[in-house]
């Protein structure tokens, strides 16, 4: 056990001192922040695009100008009427104004409205302008046709509609497109995190084993420790580094949530709860051990890194399938295929995590998933140890699948 501890410590330090690890650990939360919070930050405050610059309006009728001013005032953007279209366009090009809205003669009956800007991509701004144009045009038409504006407002008012999520405990929460989007976002982020880390650490272990072979260090290592100690030392060492990375990320996310959230007045996605984060960690750990054992075995059976890459593609497929199916899985979390994939150990860590996030899978399915996954981890570890023991000393030839299967039965 002491020797195993030394190997674990060595591998952990080797990983933690790796530049890629340090960079990923530090940048990870910012990437998560960029994906989860930044979009809502930008859509909530499109005024950020304008940076205090005004919008020019050419030939807008009085009522439209009023509506526009009111709409843009909410974003702290001024609306300036201009007399010369050409100079106004020039001022947009110069960056003095963010955009120019020209309204044709006889609007809204005959003339059209055009939005001019430098990039044409400030959706939030011209979306606001468009909404103002629509409501103003409607108002003008209603007034012109002599209808009672109050009556029209009553006719056009949308009926109330709500989506409510029923919970097993009898609770009810408001859902809907927005909250579904938030859950989907969180699910995407979680899935990407698990996918990337499991793949990254798996490949790191595979490469580390291959390097041990190609650099001939393995002979010296095995003269001191058993092949099991070497393999599990590597897996546990990297696993510790992975868990440390997750701890740092989660810590930073909660700091962001507590500090950045209130400052910018943004709500974190509600799906980013403690319970869901705990599930993320549980599934990461299980997936990590499953895939790292498989990668360690493949590393031992490989001749070089290129060979490892060729051998490991079936593992990649299992990781990619849930990723490709994420749309189907989130919109239909309790379908037959979702249930099967969430119980089959190679795909279950990602698929069950998605299901837990977006729906409430029956307890027996979660138990079956965890039980099978734990059994698969144990089975894979035993199998990997056997392949590793023989494969790690094999050099000079690329073993076929038949040969590798034969190694499993080699005694002594």
Partner 1 sequence: MVRVEKVHKSYSSVQAVADLSFQAKPGEIFGLIGPNGAGKSTTIRMIMNIIAPDSGRILFDGKPLTEADKSRIGYLPEERGLYKKAKLGEVLEYLAVIKGAAKPDARASIDAWLARFDLLEWKNRKVSELSKGMAQKAQFVGAIAHNPSVVFFDEPFSGLDPLAQDQLLKVMTELKGKGATILFSTHIMEHAEKICERILLMHKGREVLSGTMAEIKTRYGRNAVQLEFDGDAGFIKHLDFVASVSEYPRWVEVELKDGVDSDLLYAALAGCLSIRRFETVAPSLHKIFITQIGGFAAGSGDGDVGGIPPAGDVSINSPTVEANNDQA
State the binding string over 148-187 for partner 1 (x if CB under 8 A, else -).
----------------------------------------
Placement of tokens 């409510």 in the chain: 164
In three-state secondary structure terms, 399 is: coil
Structure tokens at 22: 């340090």
For partner 1, which is the closer residue by CB, 97 or 389? 389
Assess 409 for contact with partner 1 (CB under 8 A). Answer: no
What string marks each residue from 375 to 394 as x (binds partner 1 by CB under 8 A) or -? Answer: ------------------xx
At 105, is the secondary structure helix, strand, or coil?
coil
Give the footprint of partner 1 on residues 94-153 (CB under 8 A). none
Give the nearer residue to partner 1 in terms of CB position, either 220 or 324: 220
Residue 258 DSSP label = I
**Residue 402 is a binding residue for partner 1 (CB under 8 A):** no
Structure tokens given for 4 = 């195993």
By C-beta, is 105 or 223 nearer to partner 1? Answer: 223
Rg of the chain on CA atoms, in Å: 30
Q: What minimum distance in Å lies between the beta carbon of 214 and partner 1?
A: 8
Q: Which is nearer to partner 1, 174 or 398 (CB)?
A: 398
C-beta closer to partner 1: residue 208 or 347: 208
Binding of partner 1 at residue 398 (CB under 8 A)?
no
CA dist 18 and 14 (Å) reads: 6
Work out whether strand 55-58 and strand 79-82 pair parallel, antiparallel, or are unpaired: parallel
* Chain-centroid distance, C-alpha 399: 38
Among 7, 64, 280, 353, binds partner 1 (CB under 8 A): 7
How many chain residues interact with partner 1 (CB under 8 A)? 22
| Interface region with partner 1, contact rule CB under 8 A, candidates 40-48, 81-89, 105-113, 211-219 | 211-219
Tell me if 64 sits within 8 A of 133, measured CB to CB: yes
Residues 212-241 that bind partner 1 (CB under 8 A): 215-226
3-state secondary structure 182-195: HHHHHHHHHHHHHH
Of 7 and 329, the one with the shorter C-beta distance to partner 1 is: 7
| Nearer Cβ to partner 1 (171/412) | 412
CB 251, min distance to partner 1, A: 29
Q: Hey, which bits of 260-332 come out as E strands?
A: none
d(CA 356, CA 333): 9
Q: Which of 2, 119, 158, 160 binds partner 1 (CB under 8 A)?
A: 2
Question: What are the phi and psi torsion angles at 248 (to 5°)?
Answer: -65, -45
Nearer to partner 1, 74 or 220 (CB): 220
Return the structure tokens found at 60: 């807008």
The residues near 157 (Cβ < 8 Å, ≥ 6 apart) are none
In angstroms, give the least distance from the CB of 412 to partner 1: 3
For residue 293, give both structure tokens.
């054992």
Structure tokens at 333: 């979390």
Q: Is 408 in the site for partner 1 (CB under 8 A)?
A: no
Q: Does 207 contact partner 1 by CB under 8 A?
A: no
- DSSP conformation class of 81: E
* 30 vs 140: CA distance, rounded Å: 48
* Choice between 238 and 339, CB closer to partner 1: 238
Q: What is the nearest approach in angstroms of partner 1 to the Cβ of residue 252?
A: 28
- When asked if residue 10 is in the footprint of partner 1 (CB under 8 A), the reply is yes
CA 7 – CA 245 distance, rounded (Å): 20
Q: Which residues bind partner 1 (CB under 8 A)?
A: 2-3, 6-7, 10, 14, 215-226, 393-394, 411-412
């Amino acid at each position: 056990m002491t020797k195993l501890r030394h190997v674990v410590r060595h591998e952990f330090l080797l990983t933690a001192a790796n530049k890629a690890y340090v960079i990923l650990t530090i940048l990870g939360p910012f990437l998560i922040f960029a994906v989860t919070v930044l979009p809502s930050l930008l859509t909530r405050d499109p005024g950020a695009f304008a940076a205090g610059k005004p919008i020019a309006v050419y030939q807008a009728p009085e009522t439209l100008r009023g509506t526009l001013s009111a709409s843009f005032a909410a974003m702290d953007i001024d609306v300036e009427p201009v007399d010369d279209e050409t100079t106004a366009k020039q001022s947009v090009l110069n960056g003095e104004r963010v955009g120019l809205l020209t309204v044709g003669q006889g609007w809204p009956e005959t003339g059209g409205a055009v939005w001019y800007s430098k990039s044409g991509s400030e959706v939030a701004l011209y979306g606001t302008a468009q909404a103002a144009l629509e409501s103003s045009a409607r108002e003008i038409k209603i007034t012109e046709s002599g209808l009672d504006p109050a009556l029209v407002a009553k006719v056009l008012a949308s009926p109330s509609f709500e989506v409510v999520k029923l919970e097993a405990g009898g609770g009810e929460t408001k859902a809907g497109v927005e909250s579904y989007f938030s859950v989907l976002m969180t699910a995407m982020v979680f899935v990407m995190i698990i996918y990337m880390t499991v793949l990254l650490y798996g490949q790191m272990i595979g490469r580390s084993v291959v390097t041990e072979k190609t650099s001939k260090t393995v002979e010296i290592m095995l003269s001191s420790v058993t092949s099991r100690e070497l393999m599990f030392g590597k897996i546990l060492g990297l696993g510790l580094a992975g868990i440390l990375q997750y701890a740092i990320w989660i810590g930073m996310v909660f700091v962001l949530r507590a500090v950045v959230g209130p400052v910018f007045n943004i709500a974190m996605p509600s799906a980013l709860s403690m319970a869901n984060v705990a599930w993320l960690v549980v599934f990461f750990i299980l997936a990590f051990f499953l895939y790292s054992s498989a990668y360690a075995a493949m590393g031992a059976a490989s001749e070089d890194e290129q060979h490892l890459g060729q051998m490991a593609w079936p593992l990649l497929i299992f990781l990619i399938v849930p990723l490709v199916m994420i749309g189907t899985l989130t919109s239909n979390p309790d379908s037959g295929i979702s249930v099967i994939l969430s119980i089959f150990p190679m795909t279950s860590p990602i698929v069950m995590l998605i299901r837990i996030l977006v729906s409430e899978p029956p307890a027996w399915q979660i138990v079956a998933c965890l039980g099978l996954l734990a059994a698969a981890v144990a089975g894979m570890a035993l199998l990997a140890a056997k392949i590793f023991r023989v494969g790690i000393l094999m050099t000079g030839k690329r073993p076929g699948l038949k040969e590798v299967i034969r190694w499993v039965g080699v005694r002594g």
